[in-house]
Amino acid sequence: QVQLVESGGGLVQPGGSLRLSCVASGSILRIYVMRWYRQPPGKQRELVATITSTGNTNYADSVKGRFTISRDNAKKTGYLQLNDLKPEDTAIYYCNADVQQRVADRQYWGQGTQVTVSS
């Protein structure tokens, strides 16, 4: 079994910054792709950023230039740096990863961390 645990969320004023972390643990041979999703209040979950095992990244248009995704493969940890935050960034942020295990590859989700941007 694999667990993804996010942390780093909180309340921040517009223009502020946060750094989210996602730590993976359990029966992991390798983590392929790591992703961050978010779900704003009353809306559907949306993909925010993606990073491959070799460091290739991709971002939603709404966060390009403000958010940065990264990872530390040795620590099995992913990060999402959120800068210049706006009220519309308020959401629960979820970590997602494609994991290679002994038996089969599988996708896992974290429990989410709340980010609230408000003055």
Residue 41 φ/ψ, nearest 5 degrees: -55, 125
Of the CA atoms within 13 Å of residue 24, those in its CB half-sphere come to: 31
Contact 37, 93 (CB under 8 A): yes
Residue-wise pLDDT for 11-35, tens only, equals 999 999 999 999 999 999 999 999 9
Coil, helix or strand at residue 55: coil
Kindly report the number of other CB atoms within 10 A of residue 66's CB atom. 15
For residue range 46-81, list pLDDT tens digits in order: 999 999 999 999 999 999 999 999 999 999 999 999
